[in-house]
Structure 1
Amino acid sequence: MIIKSLRRFKSFIGDLPPDHHFPLENLPFGVGKRIGAKGGVKCVSRIGDYAINLAELESQGFFKEILPQSTFSSKFLNKFMSQERTQWKKVREILQDLFDANNPKIRDNAELRNEVLIPIENFRQEMPAKIGDFTDFYSCKNHRDNCGKKYPLAIKPNYEWIPIAYHGRSSSVKLSGTPLRKPYGQVMHPGSDKPVYEQSQWLDFEVEMGYFIGGKTNKLGENIPIEKAADNIFGFVILNDWTARDIQLWEFTPLGPFNSKNMLTSISPWIVTLEALEPFKAPMDPQVPEPLDYLKDPHRFNYNVGLDVFFKKGGVKDSDFVKISSTNLAHLYWSVAQQVAHHTETGCNLKPGDLIGTGTLSGTTPDTVGSLLEMDCLGLKGIPYKEGSRAKFLSGGDSVKIVGQSKKGNLTIGFGECVGKVLRARTMKKE
């Protein structure tokens, strides 16, 4: 069978291999600056191994007909996020035209080309948005069921009726590469009648995706109906919701996570748009029971985004990253449109730059789950990192890397990676 090529564009920067994350079909958005250059942080896109200086293109007048002045000279993408989907799409179309192999405007202008294209090794990324609020959902039924095999409290009767979530800390959402200090907290040991204050021994990762809110959002007291929810989703990033499980088990009843999750949430730096993911849309199975009317979506869909998880043990000579799991955004039970509709149904006003997490994404076997806790619940007694040694949870020096990409035929749309290293817990002063 002949598979029709999905690569629609050829750029003058040269041929990219089929597995490159950032072809001209992708064009994600981010923020950063050229290392050693004068001037501050600017908004950028990416093609191949170059960051595209959107502020420079803006100053040359390429977006003057569609965007307010100085949209891309900001140190965050929030101003661009606050525009409408038609404008986001038009910017992508302009970029795809400018970097087409047959367009000489930048290709043949050496001075402009050097200003606009920044080699990625000379580029330092920053947080892409000023995050107003962060909400994290719990919307993968496999994740719930896996945890419920060992911890029955994970199974709640409202799950199949409500997209469950908690409000997290926007202040501790940080860019990939930010290290995590292993936390202390209250822990209740089995059989004890009194909690203790100690270093967490059950530090875990959670593989998720996050999406940024954009567009003309709802006012306080109004809702976003499910059929319009996609208009308020600017794009996706990889998200790691680090969790201290032993602290979580003690604190999460009755009001849910608090200190067990507020120490760090990591995100990848490039925001991939819905337009780039369009070839990877996938229908979702019907929901049983049928949801209430405001959550019914006749066009309910998800995206096929593969997420590979790699682990590196600290303190082990010649240790390297080893793949320990492969999961997918397609495992969601509650779609992102349903999440947005439910989030706003009471009149909660979302704002451009708000971040929403999908919840941990998991399959049904130990090699397809999104957390170490689930591996344990499914009977895998730790990750083998050398002969005779296994890691059940994360220790100081350990690292986790999540790589996200969508693949079909000869087209890859990638997210890059989200990496974090665990630092040893702070030294406690003796009384």
Structure 2
Amino acid sequence: MMEFPTLDETHDPARRSFVEDANRPDNDFPIQNLPLGVFGTRADSTPRIGVAIGGHVLDLKKASGAGERFTEQARGALQKTSLNSLFALGLAAMRDLRRTVADMLDQGSSSNQVRRHASDLLTPLGACTLHLPTKVSNYSDFYAGIYHARAAGALLRPEDPLPENYKWVPIAYHGRASSVQVGHGAVQRPLGQRPPTAAGTPPSFGPCERLDFELEMGFYLGGGNRLGKLIPIAEAAQEIAGFSLLNDWSARDIQRWEMYPLGPFLSKSFATSVSPWVVTADALVPFRVAALSRPDGDPRPLDYLYDAADQANGGLDVRLQVLLSTEKMRGAKEPSFEILTSNAKYLYWTPAQMVAHHTVNGCNLLPGDLIGTGTISGPSPAELSSMLEFTSAGAKPVVLPNGEQRSFLQDGDEITFRGRCSRQGYAAIGFGSCIGRITASEI
């Protein structure tokens, strides 16, 4: 049966850091979180591994070289310019690292190297350039949000919105790893073929006219598996190093024209944005929940996808939020506007089930590989997590506080994803943000 990480001293809600802003209840990065990322600074632009703590980043490359209780393996992995080698060490090694870093940042630590050398080891977040957490060799995107699958499917097939196989198999496609980018930059509007406007007429070519976001979570692989060796469902959770926010940008008009019979191609490969911080599997222990309850009449997953512990603890309670800011709003110094919320607990298939299915044919997953969950819509209209669903394919535009309307995204629009976990008796933690601003096509 599957084993999940358990609660330990790193989750103690009473624990405080000497980095004072980390102790504010509204901060995403308290000492109970310690998400991993890759950053550079103005003084040294070389990418290196760090931990977010409050409004600062702890340089783990420097910290590990100065001693403390880092293992030889961890020291080696922390000299790299991405998290791949660290993730490859596995969850036990990452758990040891988490304890070491928490002790270093603890307010009451009796021997605190970081406090003594804070100016050298801690950098304000605002002075950092954030990079992709891993060198992504492979990116796969699932379709595991059943409320999204129903809402999107109903726009084309209202009488039968779900594919026949949906409740039997975790559906996915292989995405484009080379266009995965850190979610703090521009996203260029793609060009492509758009569907004919009337029967018997040719398609048109030009900039996407129905540019959309998809609210997802991403997760990164740890050690992975060799070619030809599957990862059993009982071991799958141990292969997930951590989670991030993910925006699987979509060119809906291009997608509609190109997707049959092999699925999306240019409509997805132009950009995928991920948040720069990876919240580790250990940090999320207090926020584990049961997998989404299946209604009576839904089939039990096949044996290779079923584990009782995964059904009891394989879900995550992460409140997700999407905000929109237009060029006009920013010019008037108006804040971003929340257009929808959702929650990661609405996934029909768990991340462990996705890993098990991905490898059941012998496909090899590599350390640092990225997997997207698919769009995470919820059961209510306010939780439909793409413009396609939220506006009924553009028929019901979003009305912003300044009177502007959006059916799909326009140039200059900026989309921000946020994620936060909270539960009575535990410190709340967050994922930071995943941001993308639309720029015009280059023709």
TM-score using structure 2 length: 0.90
Q: How does 1:237-316 map to 2 (within 5 A)?
A: 237-287=244-294, 288-299=298-309, 300=311, 301-315=314-328
SS of 1:46's equivalent in the other structure is: strand
* TM-aligned CA distance change 1:71 to 1:248, over 3 Å: same
Which runs of 5 or more structure 2 residues have no equivalent in the other structure? 1-10
**1:418 is the counterpart of 2:410:** no
**1:209 is the counterpart of 2:217:** yes
1:126 is aligned to: 131
Q: 2:299 and 2:256 mapped to 1: Cα distance?
A: 29
Q: How does 1:170-189 map to 2 (within 5 A)?
A: 170-189=177-196
Which runs of 5 or more structure 1 residues have no equivalent in the other structure? none
Q: Which has the higher helix share?
A: 2
Q: Give, as a single letter, the amino acid of the residue that structure 1 aligns with 2:220.
A: F
Of 123, 142, 148, the match for 2:147:
142
* TM-aligned CA distance change 1:380 to 1:90, over 3 Å: farther
Q: 1:140 and 1:285 mapped to 2: Cα distance?
A: 10
Deviations 1:107-151 (A, max 9, x none): 6853x2222212222222111110000000000110011112211
1:270 CA displacement:
0.4
1:91 is aligned to: 97
* TM-aligned CA distance change 1:389 to 1:32, over 3 Å: closer
Of 50, 58, 83, the match for 1:44:
50
Q: 2:194 and 2:161 mapped to 1: Cα distance?
A: 18
SS of 1:327's equivalent in the other structure is: strand
2:6 is aligned to: none
Q: 2:74 and 2:32 mapped to 1: Cα distance?
A: 25
1:397 CA displacement:
0.8
Q: Give, as a single letter, the amino acid of the residue that structure 2 aligns with 1:202.
A: R
Deviations 1:132-180 (A, max 9, x none): 0000000011001111221128521011111000101111000112211
Q: Give RMSD over aligned pairs.
A: 2.0
Deviations 1:17-37 (A, max 9, x none): 212100010000001123224
* TM-aligned CA distance change 1:119 to 1:343, over 3 Å: same
Determine what percentage of the aligned residue pairs are the same residue: 36
* TM-aligned CA distance change 1:109 to 1:401, over 3 Å: closer
8 Å contact 1:307–1:327 — kept in the other structure? yes
SS of 2:246's equivalent in the other structure is: strand
8 Å contact 1:305–1:328 — kept in the other structure? yes
**1:169 is the counterpart of 2:185:** no
Q: 1:323 and 1:58 mapped to 2: Cα distance?
A: 40
**1:74 is the counterpart of 2:72:** no
Q: Give, as a single letter, the amino acid of the residue that structure 1 aligns with 2:20.
A: G
Spell out structure 1 runs of 4+ moving beyond 6 A: none
SS of 1:260's equivalent in the other structure is: helix
* TM-aligned CA distance change 1:7 to 1:380, over 3 Å: farther
Compare 344-353 and 317-326 and name the one that shifted more.
317-326
**1:382 is the counterpart of 2:387:** no
**1:116 is the counterpart of 2:121:** yes
1:14 CA displacement:
2.4
1:61 CA displacement:
2.5
SS of 1:45's equivalent in the other structure is: strand
8 Å contact 1:44–1:51 — kept in the other structure? yes
Compare 347-356 and 188-197 and name the one that shifted more.
188-197
Q: 1:150 and 1:41 mapped to 2: Cα distance?
A: 44
1:349 is aligned to: 364
Q: 2:114 and 2:400 mapped to 1: Cα distance?
A: 51
2:63 is aligned to: 57
Q: 1:154 and 1:137 mapped to 2: Cα distance?
A: 17
8 Å contact 1:8–1:25 — kept in the other structure? no
Q: 1:314 and 1:304 mapped to 2: Cα distance?
A: 33
2:373 is aligned to: 358
1:286 CA displacement:
4.4
Q: 2:241 and 2:267 mapped to 1: Cα distance?
A: 29
SS of 2:126's equivalent in the other structure is: helix
